[in-house]
Amino acid sequence: MIKRFNDLQQLNVEAAALFIQAANDAITQNGYFTVALTGGSSPIGLYQLLAQAPYRDQVQWENVYVFWGDERWVPLDDERSNARMALTTLLKHVPVPEEQVFPMWADGVSPQEFAREYEQTLRLHLQPDGCFDLILLGMGPDGHTASWFPHTDVLHERNKWVAAYYLDAQDMYRITLTVPIVNRASHVAVIAYGANKADALYEVLKGAPNIEHYPAQLLDRADEQITWFVDEAAASRV
């Protein structure tokens, strides 16, 4: 479903409500909640809200397991690190046990080896079918989501749960959850706002199928399992 907002604060409040609901439902049902966080600038307001009362106190953080949807292959103290952003805006401010937080980074291992290890970690902590309770995503103006960038081989990966590859355009390795694992999540929430997302949002939601150009078209969840949190500027063509 698409949720449109005039006001970014309201967008973040509703995204926080979805996060809290998903956490509480999963913890009631299974005893724990598995979530994949996203990077970029779009989720910062949501993370800051979740780090504060009253939102922070509505999640049983001791039962939360935190992963990432994708990452730039850089150390945790690098300002490009998606994990660093989530740690500083959210995770350092809530009582989630450190051993339940799984950034996509390790020293002394290749990105490919790390991706294999991360998949094993996911297999230990997710339901046997590899189903996340919630995956948060952003979307770039080029229609990428996670590290599914236009015209990359990772768009066609259907076996691995986690992949690593060198993104020439950014001159760095990327680690990402793959299409099949994202499309098994109980819920996916995409946060995308700003006029520079309008064309991509239109193409992804209403355009002719073209996954190579607009990889976020690969998101394939039933309407009630995916929520697009967008502002009127991003949704101007939808």
Q: Which residues bind ligand 6PG (CB under 6 A)?
A: 38-42, 70, 72, 82, 138-140
| Least spacing, CB of residue 124 vs ligand 6PG, in Å | 24
| Least spacing, CB of residue 6 vs ligand 6PG, in Å | 19
Which C-beta is closer to ligand 6PG: that of 61 or that of 173?
Answer: 173
Which C-beta is closer to ligand 6PG: that of 82 or that of 227?
Answer: 82
Per the CB < 8 A criterion, the answer to whether 12 and 45 are in contact is yes
Which C-beta is closer to ligand 6PG: that of 63 or that of 236?
Answer: 236
Distance CA 233, CA 8 (A): 11
Per the CB < 8 A criterion, the answer to whether 33 and 26 are in contact is yes
Distance CA 205, CA 32 (A): 32
| Least spacing, CB of residue 39 vs ligand 6PG, in Å | 3
| Least spacing, CB of residue 139 vs ligand 6PG, in Å | 6
Which C-beta is closer to ligand 6PG: that of 26 or that of 179?
Answer: 179
E-strand ranges in the chain read 2-5, 33-37, 64-68, 70-72, 134-138, 162-167, 172-177, 188-192, 226-231
| Least spacing, CB of residue 141 vs ligand 6PG, in Å | 7
Distance CA 50, CA 37 (A): 13
Which C-beta is closer to ligand 6PG: that of 131 or that of 195?
Answer: 195
| Neighbour-count burial of 142, counting CB atoms closer than 10 A to its CB (0-12 exposed, 13-18 middle, 19+ buried) | middle
Structure tokens at 192: 């995308």
Element (H, E) at 46: helix 44-50
| Least spacing, CB of residue 87 vs ligand 6PG, in Å | 15
Which C-beta is closer to ligand 6PG: that of 26 or that of 161?
Answer: 161
